[in-house]
Structure 1
């Protein structure tokens, strides 16, 4: 398509059925090739060659305010009348109806009461009648038409109080529905407004304020203390703490230094920063999260598909039934027309499918939006439902249950050699190596603040280790095979080697002038939250919890024991993990797979739902998984399960309630129990109640929110045949 699509945020859109009709209206405008209206996100995208003003005017005819997306972020606070218009109209209509009842029932002033009832009908019913006329001009039969017919019908049969009551209750229900839908959408709108609309950029040695849309990759962003960071980028200078809650859901600020990444929408702490911009505004992490959340909210869950099929059958049946009720008794049974017209009107009101149609999407909006605010990105209603139905979970080991970063765990020395001396000598040799185990030894030496001179004459010995000169003497640093090849006797060290290997630890021996000085044990350490998280998952009745790893049996057994999984499988290649998951699905039904989002894509895809431990900037995690734990925080996993179960429970409650109320109302028509005001309560009251029930999901929070720890971005080790270990 030649032109860029027009994007709008919509206000005043509270009816899913009306949204579908508005989408068709926009699509029929001259020059429009396609229109996509995401009701749950209140977002409209229009493709083709059409003026924005034409789209805005068309939406306005349906009582919907369309705001161009570029203006939405920086729009001023909505005017009081615009913000509270529905509530004011409802309040005035209620006051007029109440005064009418008082004059009619208490004082017997029938004519004056009818005048007040008419005023109530005009105030409360005018917006509805205007939209009804517009719908009829388009040959559409919507809820506005049904309500207008019901009110006019009540007037024609001299039921003025009933007509006024319907007009008041309908305006009230619309106000409540709009309020509750806005509440449900608040999570995504608050995300949209996280990033500032302009930022300070340094160009040609000058600082200038620019709209974010004009900032280019490579620009230098100047961020002062307390300011929001406008763009994704890499820190060039300065250090500070950054509140990343908008991206990761983590409320505790994290330390950021030169060379580290920061994200749009996060808040700078006490330091000044200069940041090199790495992504355009439409490509930054916050924009991608918003896009993914909106797409997720628009996806139909299985329950929603069922509801829509039911509504498609139910609504025309009730409309036909209303016509039959009005005509058959008077024509065939010589019954009086008035009571049957009244019953037909009541049934017309009940025919509106609003409560049914909205019962599922609002719950999905609330659940996915709230999850995103707390650092859990759920990419669709179907995945949300699957989370709620999970029976078992499988976990990758490296980078998921463990840090994915080898650490020195133990140092054992020969008599007369201190641990500091041994570590300093090993670090002097490893200074020249890029191997992950060498880096771990270097980090430990730095942590212990050891002083040493880098070795000379360094030689890497592939698959074995390395040798170098330290203070004029040859030092060997490597695995047992290296020392055995040099003829060094390891008899005295066999018990330690056997014990540490049984614990799944990698052992590096250090020898100087062919004498063993000691050994250094290293291992991929557990995440601090792993064991506690798995205990919580077991309390949620998820069983079994299975670890799938490419590591050896000894390491797998040791980690499995420490973390508390029910089962483990070791020595698995990526395709073996896929096979294992298929077997587990056959045995246990729905099963989730939790991986680091980097090398677990096949396994994540083959699980019922793939859950990635994704650091905030990980493209792989965002694209491959069904659920992403944005803060790389395993403690958010029980929250994701809890959210899925709560959403599933709310959806079932909503569907049962909406269908139950509708069927009861239909049955109440025949004996004449269903009055017009009762019909409006049954229909719109049900809509408001299912919406209120759904937005309870917004209040759900992770149990760890108050005691969360700073986000740490893990490094990932690569298993390869290389120095020290001879293999992964």
Structure 2
């Protein structure tokens, strides 16, 4: 039955964007209000992305009514809407706070302890705290003890015992604190807003003999898009005509433009710098790479990191506990120990104010949103706060070899004929078999045959089959030929490979080359050596990772031991595991996890099981690769390994800042609580401590924007 209810929810799922969120507390309240709607089964607010997912039926009017306490505006996720930016000085909250500040100042000038001053302070409380009181009273009636409830009780209590000026000061300082929180979240969200504005909303499309401007929603797969120099691409596609340099920084974080010509893939949001390009559209607007990045970044912000989940659970019990403790401080000493009522009520009110968990609640989400946004701008897609934290804890990183540490474009370097046939004949047979294979080494042999202009139709293949992890076989002209690793032929040929052949293979392998053997089940006919060029950046990246304190770097490859060790030595990898099948990589990753948090870096296709098993799976070249985006926890959008040290550095900094924020927020509370005992903590000092803590954790979190890639 559970499965069927989930299906119903999926069918009636709708996502809306929200305009007007100011704090995490308001977002939580809005979520509760929406869940309470009659036709809604469930609702999830994504505060970082300002979105709500509703399972069930609810109109926009229903949702806006649920958010009326905050004046929230709701509209469908896919609706293009220009966000109306109200100047800071015209905002209602700014005007009421300014009026409250003026009245507060006038009240202090009139002098304290007289009726006129108290009236002015009372007016300052009403004007500055009107919306706060509405929310606070609603929370009190529902026994929902949130920040607004604490502040409302404290301010009304202060007025009740004659501390009008302190009540007015608290209202003013709390309004400033709320404005700072709203500003900080807006600043943190800017990275996503800038991503949304990357791709144009319309493009020039050729239909028939006409070139017309078409909205991206109306562009179809197969349309021809005309992109002039200086224009941004509106859609993903394939170049069919023209040559140009395209700046892909918005997608991959690479600042150096990439040359594009016929047949090359291009992405929406990238900038055509030089020539005129004609591009065949290959994806609809919702499926473009930039659309997927935006969606994944927004979803990432909704996924709570372990530290945020801890803070949320803590705040759930902490706020009611503060209410009970404050009541105890206000009532017990006067009742049991003849304390002065006014004095102890005042201390209880000070506890309510200082107990407000603003700084604690905002400490983690601002850090997560800022870090994920900064990473996205630098071409690194982190798919959730949990992965950000896990990356910060990595002590072991395992690398696939082909396409990760190497360029993944192998070339044939040597062809050694062993028996009978001439070189071109043997190369032709090998290429005729390998053209049906998906392995990168197979493509190197086919390219070599093309370079020699060999006509592969001369060697017609039948009964092709792949031999997992070892090679392939096919029937050509009535003979079954095999192409694969030396291991395959040691198993095929009864007496194994001859010693002289094994010696030659080992010589080539020690040069960092991968050797493939062509032959039949009775004898080896040729050796084909293939080399995959090591990336220029690999050695420097490994050095930087060791400098950052990564204790162990490992290379996992299906290649032979001698070649793997030669490449491992070249790039500075400390441990090499060779001749591994995909299942062996998976087992090795599981074993590695016993010695610490493990990250696995691969291309996201062949390494999917190992990527999924590691604490953090990191895929290379996410741009245009759906598998990498779906499989990995982190995708390096450019085919660029240098983004890895940046990602580790950013994650560690985020982890450090989250810990600092939580520790600082709790420490401020403890110090303030200790000051209440001798009666040294005044109401205005309490709100100042709370506001100061909120401001400090916010500014500390925003430092993550300054972490830069290499």
Q: Give your verdict on TM over 0.5.
A: yes
Aligned positions, number? 664
Change in CA separation of 1:670 and 1:678 when aligned onto 2, cut-off 3 Å:
same
Q: Residue 266 and residue 85 in structure 1: after superposition, are their counterparts in 2 closer, same or farther (change >3 A)? A: farther
For 1:173-192, what aligned pairs fall within 5 Å after superposition?
Answer: 173-192=177-196
Which of 6, 13, 31 is the equivalent residue of 1:23? Answer: 31
**Cα drift, residue 479 of structure 1:** 12
Q: Which residue of 1 aligns with 2:238?
A: 234
Instruction: For 1:603-642, list aligned pairs within 5 A.
Output: 603-642=610-649
Match of 2:52 among 5, 20, 44: 44
1:614 and 1:622 in contact (8 A); partners too: no
CA distance in 2 between partners of 1:259 and 1:21 (Å)? 52
Matched, 1:335 2:339: yes
Higher mean displacement: 62-71 or 591-600: 62-71
Tell me if the contact between 1:591 and 1:609 (Cα under 8 Å) persists in the aligned partners.
Answer: yes
Question: How many Å separate the matches in 2 of 1:128 and 1:491?
Answer: 86
Displacement of 1:675 in angstroms is: 1.1
Quote the Cα distance in structure 1 between the aligned partners of 2:456 and 2:538. Answer: 42
Q: For 2:639 and 2:193, how far apart are their aligned partners in 1?
A: 24
TM-score computed with the length of structure 2 as normaliser: 0.84
TM-superposed deviation, 1:11? 3.7
1:675 aligns with 2:686: no
Evaluate the alpha carbon distance shift between residue 411 and residue 281 of structure 1 in structure 2; reply closer, same or farther with a 3 A threshold. same
Note the C-alpha offset of 1:137: 6.0
- Is the CA contact 1:553–1:570 (under 8 Å) kept in the aligned structure 2? yes
Partner residue of 1:644 out of 646, 651, 675 = 651
Does residue 1:194 correspond to 2:211, yes or no? Answer: no
Greater CA deviation, 600-609 or 143-152? 143-152
Contact 1:223 1:268 in 2 (8 A): yes
Q: Give the CA deviation at 1:367.
A: 1.2
Residues 1:219 and 1:136: Cα distance change in structure 2 (over 3 Å): farther
Shift of 1:181: 1.1
What does the per-residue CA deviation read over 1:393-440, in whole Å, with 9 as the maximum and x for residues that have no partner? Answer: 11111111111111356899xxxxxxxxx9999999999897566865
Bigger mean CA deviation after superposition, 522-531 or 52-61: 52-61
**Unaligned ranges ≥5, structure 1:** 413-421, 467-476, 483-489, 510-517, 705-728
Determine the C-alpha separation between the residues in 2 that align with 1:5 and 1:209. 33
Coordinate RMSD, CA, aligned = 3.8
Q: 1:209 to 1:137 in 2, by over 3 A?
A: farther
Inter-partner Cα distance in structure 2 for 1:155 and 1:291: 48
Residue 134 of structure 2: SS of its match in structure 1?
helix
Q: Which moved more, 1:564-573 or 1:220-229?
A: 220-229
Q: Report the counterpart of residue 14 of structure 1 in structure 2.
A: 22
**Please, which of 682, 698, 701 is the counterpart of residue 691 of structure 1?**
698
The TM-score with structure 1 as length reference comes to 0.82
User: 1:519: Cα distance to partner?
Assistant: 11
Q: State the alpha-carbon separation in 2 of the partners of residues 210 and 25 from structure 1.
A: 40
Q: SS of the residue aligned with 1:201?
A: strand
- The aligned residue for residue 666 of structure 1 is 673
From 576, 580, 599, the equivalent of 2:588 is 580
1:451-477 CA distance string (max 9 Å, x none):
x876799448999999xxxxxxxxxx9
Tell me which moved more, 276-285 or 167-176. 276-285
Are the aligned partners of 2:145 and 2:320 in contact in 1 as well (CA < 8 Å)? Answer: no
Quote the Cα distance in structure 2 between the aligned partners of 1:374 and 1:404: 23
Larger mean Cα displacement after TM superposition, 452-461 or 138-147: 452-461
The one-character-per-residue Cα deviations of 1:595-618 (angstroms, maximum 9, x if unpaired) are 111100111122221111133011
In the TM superposition, what are the counterparts of 1:269-668 in structure 2 within 5 Å? 269-407=273-411, 440=444, 458-459=458-459, 499-506=507-514, 522-586=530-594, 588-668=595-675
Q: Please point out which of 155, 160, 171 is paired with 1:156.
A: 160
| Residue 536 (structure 1) shift | 0.6
Secondary structure of the corresponding residue to residue 262 of structure 2? coil
Segment drifting more, 688-697 vs 457-466: 457-466
Kindly indicate whether residue 207 of structure 2 is the aligned counterpart of residue 203 of structure 1. Answer: yes
Q: 1:460 to 1:502 in 2, by over 3 A?
A: farther
Q: Deviations over 1:227-257 (max 9, x none)?
A: 2222222223233222222221222221222
- Measure the CA separation in 2 of the matches of 1:67 and 1:478: 58
- Report the equivalent of 1:711: none
Q: Secondary structure at the match of 2:599?
A: strand
